[in-house]
Amino acid sequence: MATIDQSTYVSQSPVTDPGMLAGRLDVVPGDLEALQRAACRLVFHYRAGGDFAENGIAADRLGEVDTRYAAPMFERLFELHDTSLDEERAAHQRLVGCCRDFTVLFLALARQKGVPARARVGFATYFAPGWYIDHEIAEVWDAAEQRWRLVDPELRDGHIDPTDGATVNPLDVDPNRFLVGPHAWLACRAGHADPERFVVLPELDIPVLRSWPYLVHNLVHDLAALNKREMVLWDVWGIAESESLSDEQRALLDRVARTMTAPDVTMNDLQELYAREEFRVPPIVTSYSPATEEPRRVSLAL
């Protein structure tokens, strides 16, 4: 995607803007390793991080997973432990969140340093053998190599892919180990991948959280992220709310996915796709938060 003006992703988005706390981000060095390491220390994953009580985290803190914007994320972090962002934190001093929150905080730190960075929503193969697990990571422009480099802000050094025993480099994730939304959609449509292996979690036997419904979900989220709308992962809107897809809708998603993955795609192409009613984030979205029993209608400040 070298045709895209990289400066688009240097400035903060309405989601990643740290607001009045921007100056406190400057303490983190601007090299990729330091930025990834800092973001990795800021979030306690509500599912993968371990038992709340054993880590000194009150059960009612689960609601932090719905913190949507970077500014209140950083406010909460300094409230929990008022120290430099590049220092290690105990589990209870981190924000309770998920992969999306590691990524949003990483983007805020990177963009503060003038590093072109954007979120990518897709599926990782390096968590459970044989499964493509719902995941969100970052993509950073590598000026020296003139390419987008996948960076996983959640992974600690030494993460082993249980599929083949390989060590995953969080600063340069192999695109074959992380399929962005449009690549996942096209692979399944072409019969190169089994849609039943694309899930939020293998053990979650909920139809909307696996297979074709979730392939649509992550394609829609990835397009929004490329347009600097880094949404909470349990937000649903537009075509992703369809209970079933028509032939016309599937053909539209094919065209969108092909355009998003084309080597000569431009920012204007991405903006035109996103402008369609089927994909554009509306003022109010439906959010199926794990912290609430029922879905909520959420007004956005975008």
Mean pLDDT, residues 56-66 taken together:
97
- Is it the case that residue 5 has pLDDT exceeding 60? yes
- The residue behind tokens 């192409």 is 269
pLDDT given at position 3: 57
8 A C-beta contact, residue 12 and residue 228: no
The two beta strands, 178-180 and 117-124, are antiparallel
Calculate mean pLDDT across residues 179-205: 97
Structure tokens at 14: 């309405």
Give per-residue pLDDT as tens, 238-251: 999 998 999 999 99
Report helix, strand or coil for 70. Answer: helix
- The stretches of the chain forming alpha helices (DSSP H) are 32-40, 70-80, 99-112, 181-189, 211-226, 247-261, 267-274
C-alpha to C-alpha distance for 133 and 136, rounded to whole angstroms: 10
Q: Output the average pLDDT for the chain.
A: 96
**Stretch 223-231: mean pLDDT:** 98
Tens of pLDDT, residue by residue over 105-143, are 999 999 999 999 999 999 999 999 999 999 999 999 999
Question: If you average pLDDT over residues 51-73, what whole number do you get?
Answer: 97
Work out the average pLDDT over 53-60.
Answer: 97
What digits encode the pLDDT tens for the residues 74-104? 999 999 999 999 999 999 999 999 999 999 9
Segments making up each domain of the chain, as ranges: 6-299
Residue pLDDT, tens place only, 141-172: 999 999 999 999 999 999 999 999 999 999 99
Backbone φ and ψ of 25, nearest 5°: -80, -20
Question: Rounded to 10 degrees, what is the CA torsion of 60, 66, 68, 69?
Answer: 10
**Long-range Cβ contact pairs of 57-64 (< 8 A, separation 24 or more):** 57/91, 57/92, 57/96, 61/96, 62/96, 62/290, 62/291, 63/291, 64/95, 64/96, 64/97
Say how far apart CA 252 and CA 255 lie, in whole Å.
Answer: 5
CA distance 184 to 192: 10
Query: Who contacts 213 (Cβ-Cβ below 8 Å, separation ≥6)?
Result: 207, 240
What's the whole-model pTM score? 0.97
Distance CA 20, CA 84 (A): 16
- What percent of the chain is predicted at pLDDT more than 90? 96
Closest CA to 46 of 36, 58, 35: 58
- State the pLDDT confidence band at 6, using cuts at 50, 70 and 90: confident
Instruction: Give which of 137, 127, 51, 138 is closest to 96, Cα–Cα.
Output: 51
The rounded radius of gyration (Å) of the Cα atoms in the chain is 18
pLDDT for 102 equals 98
**Using 50, 70 and 90 to split pLDDT, how confident is the model at 2?**
very low
pLDDT tier, 302 (very low <50, low <70, confident <90, very high otherwise): confident
pLDDT at 184 over 60: yes
